């Protein structure tokens, strides 16, 4: 049974928006569990929380939530950070950067609400009404004025039940594919780590590296500190980047699996020639959360030029003692990333690993000819992993597209959920 296509209501007539907040008089010692914008991801929902005493909590920790609510980020709306609140603890609080949508019980079913606020045309309208280029945002009142499909309550419940069943099947398939992606990434890291610490000849004589966590290395290899194979290490540009400008500027997000992703560049108006990158340079991320510290990528001749880099990145230029490709593989190995993160100096909200400390990284180094052989081997093997990974990622993308299309068809009445079930 379908409902009349095109029946819609503005959100503000079927739900409340941001009507429940912590008062300033809250007990300073009251402990709250907090969700910030960074704790919610598109398609995943809530990924983590933090505990605070009210007195020490961020000033934006103010919005109360309860079961059945849906929170939608009103900033950086292109990220589609949306989460359904299901059986929350009584002290769960979310950032004022969210709009908290609370269904009116006699008008909007909470289950249907979870889906109708993920319907593609609603998400597109949120982005269309957002203002700002580099940091697009929408007012909660503007969001509340967006129309959404509005079938009768009994149909809403039937649609929600149908989508619960069908999306659970798709989510299980996505989860299996994502486990495969994790396994492929783990095997790739293990392959690289073995090649850059043990070489390609399993029968080669070995020696104790003198470093407990590194163990034995081929007997003819050297151990050098990273600084001894670098010609220079240079901090990047201390300037704000935007969507337009004369020179592209690489940031941490462009470093992906040892390579540069040029798909979402930011720009600045001018930069000194000494801070332009050239093929063979390496970029190392020195600050952020621990899981981002030590990320490294190589600049290839096929990249965008001229291009510069942000101040929290460090450019590494090599001497003739090491091939840049070999160093890129080494610096992306598991043992280096673990070492880098153990050496980072923790700070509030982020950690830091400056080039001086990073320069003392113990680096197993084979002769140049052997470095070249290892590069060739790793490129061949990594190409295989990349192909499998791309195929799996494409499969995940198709499943997510199918999920979005199913939600759109169900909440708009384009499919009869009773017959489809």
Summarize the confidence of residues 385-391 as an average pLDDT. Answer: 95
| Higher pLDDT, residue 134 or 310 | 310
Check whether 411 has a pLDDT greater than 70. Answer: yes
CB 29 within 8 A of CB 45: no
Neighbouring residues of 70: CB distance < 8 A, sequence distance ≥ 6: 82, 83, 84, 85, 100, 101, 113, 114, 117
Q: Residue 403's closest CA among 127, 78, 173, 154?
A: 173
Q: What is the pLDDT of residues 137-168, one digit of tens each?
A: 999 999 999 999 999 999 999 999 999 999 99
What does the radius of gyration of the chain's CA atoms come to, in whole angstroms?
26
Cα distance between residue 362 and residue 359, in whole Å: 9
Q: How many CA atoms lie within 13 A of 281 on its CB side?
A: 27
Percent of all residues in the chain with a pLDDT value above 70, rounded to a whole number: 97
Percent of all residues in the chain with a pLDDT value above 90, rounded to a whole number: 84
Q: Residue 259's closest CA among 306, 300, 316?
A: 300
Find where tokens 């780590």 sit: 193
Neighbouring residues of 39: CB distance < 8 A, sequence distance ≥ 6: 46, 47, 48, 49, 50
Q: Which long-range contacts (CB under 8 A, 24 or more apart) does 133-139 make?
A: 133/242, 133/243, 134/242, 134/243, 134/266, 135/75, 135/76, 136/75, 136/76, 136/77, 136/78, 137/74, 137/75, 137/76, 137/77, 138/74, 138/77, 139/74
Give residue 290's pLDDT: 82
- 137, with CB counted inside 10 A (0-12, 13-18, 19+), is middle
CATH 1.10.260.40 for domain 222-365, yes or no, is: no
Give residue 2's pLDDT: 44
Give residue 42's pLDDT: 86
Q: What is the pLDDT of residues 357-373, one digit of tens each?
A: 999 999 999 999 999 99
Check whether 254 has a pLDDT greater than 60. Answer: yes
pLDDT band per the 50, 70, 90 thresholds, residue 349: low
CATH number of 8-150: 3.90.220.20
CB 98 within 8 A of CB 74: yes
How distant, in Å, are the alpha carbons of 192, 196, 228, 289 from that of 328?
A: 10, 10, 16, 21
Sign of CA dihedral 257, 262, 268, 271: positive
**Residue 149, strand partner residues:** 8
Check whether 3 has a pLDDT greater than 50. Answer: no
Q: Where are the domains of the chain?
A: 8-150, 222-365
pLDDT band per the 50, 70, 90 thresholds, residue 421: low
Q: What is the pLDDT of residues 184-242, one digit of tens each?
A: 999 999 999 999 999 999 999 999 999 988 999 999 999 999 999 999 999 999 888 88
Most trustworthy range by pLDDT among 169-173, 250-254, 343-347: 169-173
Q: What is the pLDDT of residues 87-130, one digit of tens each?
A: 999 999 999 999 999 999 999 999 999 999 999 999 999 999 99
Give residue 241's pLDDT: 85
Check whether 339 has a pLDDT greater than 90. Answer: yes
Check whether 36 has a pLDDT greater than 70. Answer: yes
Computed over every residue of the chain, the mean pLDDT equals 93
- Same topology, domains 8-150 and 222-365? Answer is yes
């Amino acid at each position: 049974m379908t409902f009349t296509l095109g029946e819609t209501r503005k959100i503000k007539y079927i739900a409340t928006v941001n009507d429940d907040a912590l008062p300033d008089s809250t007990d300073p010692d009251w402990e709250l569990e907090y969700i910030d914008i960074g704790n919610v991801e598109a398609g995943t929902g809530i990924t983590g929380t933090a505990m605070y005493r009210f007195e020490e909590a961020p000033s934006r920790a103010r919005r109360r939530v309860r079961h059945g609510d849906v929170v939608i980020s009103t900033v950086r709306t292109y990220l589609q950070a949306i989460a359904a609140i299901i059986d929350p603890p009584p002290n769960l609080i979310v950032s004022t950067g969210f709009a908290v949508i609370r269904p009116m019980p006699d008008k909007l079913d909470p289950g249907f609400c979870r889906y109708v606020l993920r319907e593609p045309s609603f998400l597109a309208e949120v982005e269309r009404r957002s203002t700002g280029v580099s940091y697009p945002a929408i007012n909660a009142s503007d969001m509340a004025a967006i129309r959404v499909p509005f079938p009768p309550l009994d149909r809403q419940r039937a649609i929600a039940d149908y989508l619960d069943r069908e999306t659970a099947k798709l989510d299980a398939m996505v989860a299996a594919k994502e486990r495969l992606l994790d396994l492929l990434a783990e095997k790739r890291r293990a392959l690289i780590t073995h090649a850059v610490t043990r070489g390609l000849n399993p029968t080669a004589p070995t020696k104790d590296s003198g470093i407990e966590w590194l163990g034995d290395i081929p007997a003819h290899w050297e151990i050098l500190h990273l600084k001894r194979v670098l010609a220079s290490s240079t901090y990047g540009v201390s300037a704000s980047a935007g969507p337009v400008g004369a020179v592209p500027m690489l940031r941490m997000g462009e470093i992906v699996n040892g390579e540069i992703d040029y798909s979402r560049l930011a720009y600045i108006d001018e930069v000194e020639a000494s801070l332009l990158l050239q093929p063979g340079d390496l970029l190392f991320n020195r600050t952020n959360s621990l899981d981002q510290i030590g990320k490294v990528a190589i600049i290839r001749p096929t990249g965008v030029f001229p291009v510069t880099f942000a101040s929290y990145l460090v450019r590494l230029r090599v001497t003739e003692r090491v091939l840049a490709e070999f160093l890129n593989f080494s610096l992306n190995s598991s043992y280096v990333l673990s070492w880098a993160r153990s050496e980072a100096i923790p700070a509030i909200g982020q950690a830091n690993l400056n080039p001086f400390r990073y320069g003392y990284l113990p680096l197993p180094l084979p002769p140049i000819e052997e470095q070249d052989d290892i590069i060739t081997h790793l490129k061949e093997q990594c190409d295989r992993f990349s192909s499998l990974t791309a195929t799996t990622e494409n499969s995940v993308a198709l499943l997510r597209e199918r999920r979005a299309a199913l939600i759109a068809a169900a909440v708009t009445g384009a499919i009869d959920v009773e017959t489809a079930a």
